[in-house]
Amino acid sequence: MCNTVIPPSNTSGGRADILMQIAQQANLVRKTFQDAPKSTVSNATTAAAAALASMNKKRQADGNSQVAAPSKKQAMLNSRYFHSSIAHLTNRNASTNRCEATQLVAQRTELANVEPSKPLSSFSDGNLNTSEQQVHVTKNDIVCGGSKIIDEFIGNKRFRVWIDLHSKPFSKAPRMEDKLKIARSIVHTIQACVPPGRFLTCTSSGAWVDIGYDKSVQVTMQILTNEVKSRFRTVPVKPTSPPSIAVSKPKTFASMAA
């Protein structure tokens, strides 16, 4: 760059002179950049860049062919051995599904071998303590027995209400099958409660157990029979002699004369 000094004008402080100096300096800077030698690329550099570009294209083409080949083979397998790609995927996961099924069977076997935990007792619903076990008696259970304490259980009170409601139809049932249906309906009603009601009895060892469906029906039949006998018992009437009829004596002439 050539350093050219612009002499100051005689009329200093003039605005036109300042603008002229700025324009001259801008022209000098522009000319300096235009006359600067431009950078050139050698032929060796150009050849090396072309070789690298060719190698990259070849590598990309080889990779695409390797990816396309397995995809084509997979499509042939799907169309030959399977009806659809979904069926092929399902068959491919068959071994995984078998492993999961084996693990599930093993878990179920372990759960089956675990002893069930005993239910916790609650005093609010009636806690029947025994020497070894504690049975949780709910408000829907029927405790078999004849003591006053047992009669105060909520389940026994409800059972007494059902007995009262069915005692009259039970007494009017003409056949034993009809009476048995009434007893079974009461047992079904108890078992359909939430939680299900049970008929409990105390064993010789002091444990409270469920007597089962058949015995529950028998107990209900017996209670209904006793209720009918006690409620509809006829009071014997003492035989009474027929009222005496006074027979009037026939009037005679003598009595009329008197």
- The pLDDT score that the predictor gives to residue 30 is 77
- The pLDDT score that the predictor gives to residue 70 is 56
- The pLDDT score that the predictor gives to residue 199 is 92
Q: What is the pTM of this model?
A: 0.40
What mean pLDDT comes out for the span 74-93? 53
pLDDT band at 45 (very low <50, low <70, confident <90, very high): confident
- The pLDDT score that the predictor gives to residue 191 is 92
Is residue 92's pLDDT more than 70? Answer: no
Task: Check: CB of residue 138 under 8 Å from CB of residue 195.
Answer: yes
Query: Please, which residues have CB within 8 angstroms of residue 201's CB and are 6 or more apart in sequence?
Result: 143, 144, 145, 208, 209, 211
Residue of 182 and 34 predicted with greater confidence? 182
pLDDT digits (tens, 9 = 90+) for 164-177: 999 999 999 989 99
pLDDT band at 179 (very low <50, low <70, confident <90, very high): very high
- The pLDDT score that the predictor gives to residue 132 is 44
- The pLDDT score that the predictor gives to residue 13 is 59
pLDDT band at 59 (very low <50, low <70, confident <90, very high): confident
High-pLDDT (> 90) share of the chain, %:
19
CA distances from 11 to 17, 19, 26, 180, 252 (A): 8, 13, 22, 139, 197
- The pLDDT score that the predictor gives to residue 213 is 93
Beta pairing class for 127-129 and 134-136: antiparallel
Domain ranges of the chain: 59-111, 127-231
Give phi and psi for 54, each to the nearest 5. Answer: -65, -40
Which residue(s) pair with 51 in the sheet? none
- Measured CA to CA, the distance from residue 166 to residue 187 in angstroms comes to 12
Say how many CA atoms lie within 13 Å of 127 toward its Cβ: 9
Is residue 220's pLDDT more than 90? Answer: yes
pLDDT digits (tens, 9 = 90+) for 116-162: 444 433 333 444 443 445 667 788 889 888 778 888 888 899 999 99
- The pLDDT score that the predictor gives to residue 120 is 36
